[in-house]
Amino acid sequence: MNKCIILFLIVTFSFVSCEHKNGENIFSNSRSKLLTLLEGEETIKINEMSNEIIRCFTQKDKNALIELFCDEIQNGPDFNNEIDKMLEYFNCDIYSFSEKSRSGHSGFSTNEGRRTEWNISVNIPYICVLAYKETNIQNEMDRYHYAIQYSWCIINEENKSFEGLYYMNIELLNINSINIGDYNLLWKK
């Protein structure tokens, strides 16, 4: 019996104090792997959404852009006019390139190990496009540089009408900007 207790204590002590080459124990390494997995999943979602937003604006795809927004924002009294203004504001005939999107902040809630709410705010810091000059002399083009910030509710099990984009800001870099939606929507509930 004493041998079993001693063996149990040795195994338990070894497991708790087991260290890797970098000095982290097994538990902190597992937490690190979990955080890396979550960051990877978030990065994939951000890249997909950012690419779709850029596609909608550069191809003037109004219907697809509307579908990205949550029902709560879509049902706003002037939503269609705001979308039209944003599409007009984003002057693009040829898409050139953009910088990688960056997450400003993110947060999520869980219940019994599954996500019940997940929100992120994202910045696409630099989008370069070309547009024909209004004079259209010899097909001359102007270069425009935009930044887009958006807030996105990926999951909201309590209120599905909040799932989707709920805020967007487009800035013509160093000139002006335009907004749609309500940045504080989720905090008003």
pLDDT at 20 > cutoff 50: no
pLDDT of residue 19: 46
For the chain, counts of helices (H) and of strands (E): 5, 6
How far apart (Å, rounded) are the C-alpha atoms in residues 167 and 148?
Answer: 10
pLDDT of residue 8: 47
Task: Report, as an integer, the average pLDDT of 146-171.
Answer: 96
pLDDT of residue 186: 81
Contact 120, 42 (CB under 8 A): yes
pLDDT of residue 156: 95
Among residues 99, 112, 104, 92, the alpha carbon closest in space to that of 157 is found at 112
Which of the listed ranges 62-66, 115-119, 133-137 does the model predict with the highest average pLDDT? 62-66
Residue extents of the structural domains in the chain: 28-187
**pLDDT tens column, 35-69:** 555 568 899 999 999 999 999 999 999 999 999 99
pLDDT of residue 137: 66
Say whether pTM exceeds 0.85: no
Just give the CATH number of 28-187.
Answer: 3.10.450.50
Q: Which residues pair with 169 in a beta bridge?
A: 149, 179
DSSP state letters, 5-52 = HHHHHHHHHHHHH-B-TTS-BHHHHHHHHHHHHHHHHHHHHHHHHHHH
Task: Report, as an integer, the average pLDDT of 161-177.
Answer: 93
Angle at 139 between CA 133 and CA 141, to 5 degrees: 45
